[in-house]
Amino acid sequence: MGSVGVATSHHLYPPFPEDITTAPLVSISLSKLEAGDESESKAFFEAAQNLGFFYMKLEGSALGERIINGAEALHEIQQDFFKRPNEEKEVYSREKIDAFMGYRRAELKENDEQGRQKRNETYNMRKDDFVGNVDPLPCHELVTSNWDTLKDYVYDCRAAIDLMISLLEKHLQLPAGTLAQLHRINERSGDHVRFNQAAIQDWSEERAKQGEHTDFGTLTILMNWLGGLQIRLPETKEWVYVKPIPGSAVVNLGDALVKFTAGILRSNIHRVVPAPSPQNAQVRNSLVYFSRPEDAVVLRRLKGGLIDKQPVDEKEEQEPRMTASEWTLRRSVGDLKGVYTHKDGLELRENMMVSGKA
Ligand SMILES: O=C(O)CCC(=O)C(=O)O
Ligand SMILES: [Fe+2]
């Protein structure tokens, strides 16, 4: 695939520090995956099993470069959106429009220079609205006026995700289509684009802890301009920063893939904390595409291939059978807040920070 050229805005921010420990994410090239490169595909599957987080190098792929350019455009739009008056944003708050989609804020105890209470904010926009699977929810004027940019971003992220889904099927030795048919873009699902903004804030151990989470869904494509994302290393349990790499996305796997594969794949715990100095004096935005199984899909182990070789454990048997939409709702606003791992099941937690989770 030909390169169309990309320019990112990372250079506008202070640099990520050189002298801190960072997460050992491998880099997987989208263009190599598109070209059917076997060793790249194997490295992708290993990353999906071992850490559940990796960089996806987007440069050098036409699709990847559309994602980068789309993300840069949406980054401008999200900064514009979050600058709007609170009353204007709150018209689209989740309490008013939908249980999961829309604007949400978490108020911090600190005030900003203008004496207004600081907020961490998110705005979730559902894939189904852009694809035309439903009547769209009410949305802010910046969404309406940038509809095609958002719609292209949805389709481009989904194209990359669909490619990864097909490779996962292959490596799991499942019949072709086993996972793809649970993720048809024209069916209703909880897929969404999220604008994220975190205020400038001091480190708070309590907030850091409350923000620990796993993503609920299938695959997440994350675009970051500043540090602040941390993952907990599976072996040492140490929390380490993920360094943003211009031209690459951070991709991670969610709980649904753990359930479907009876724990072959990993949904790793992570959180967002203040960026490391000197990046911590900036408002922090990130842009996320979350993919989820179709709403009606029951989250349980699939049959076939390598999954049949996984032992059946008691916890898995006892877990309530839920559809993807039930799972998302109960994980986000209901009684199943926590961190999900196949080995230990759902680790329920009180007081999780709603805005920090996915
Ligand atoms: O902002 C980030 O870097 C990560 C956000 C995240 O993990 C989430 O929204 O689920
Ligand atoms: Fe997340």
* pLDDT tens column, 323-346: 999 988 887 776 776 677 666 666
Residue whose CA is at the smallest distance from ligand 1 atom 10: 358
Q: Is the pLDDT at 89 greater than 80, yes or no?
A: yes
Residue 215's DSSP bridge partners are none
Q: Ligand 2 centroid vs 193 CA: distance in angstroms?
A: 12
ipTM of the complex: 0.99
What's the pLDDT at 114? Answer: 85
Q: Does residue 275 have its Cβ closer than 6 Å to ligand 1?
A: no
What's the pLDDT at 336? Answer: 75
* Ligand minimally distant from the alpha carbon of residue 284: 1
How confident is residue 352, by pLDDT bands cut at 50, 70 and 90?
Answer: low
Q: Ligand 2 centroid vs 253 CA: distance in angstroms?
A: 9
Q: Is the pLDDT at 355 greater than 50, yes or no?
A: no
* Ligand minimally distant from the alpha carbon of residue 288: 1
Q: Would you say the C-alpha torsion 149, 150, 155, 161 has a positive or negative sign?
A: positive
Q: Ligand 1 centroid vs 153 CA: distance in angstroms?
A: 18
In terms of pLDDT, which residue wins out, 340 or 184?
184
Residue keyed to tokens 């669909």: 162
pTM (predicted TM-score): 0.94
Q: What is the dihedral of CA 181, 215, 102, 70, to 10 degrees?
A: -70
Express each pLDDT in 197-209 by its tens digit.
Answer: 999 999 999 999 9
Residues 54/236, Cβ–Cβ less than 8 Å = no
SS3 87: helix
What's the pLDDT at 343? Answer: 65
Residues 141/66, Cβ–Cβ less than 8 Å = no
* Nearest atom in ligand 1 to 198's CA: 1
Q: Does residue 325 have its Cβ closer than 6 Å to ligand 1?
A: no
The best mutation among 196, 224, 284 to test binding of ligand 1, ranked by most ligand atoms within 8 Å of the C-beta, falls on 196
Residues 186/131, Cβ–Cβ less than 8 Å = yes
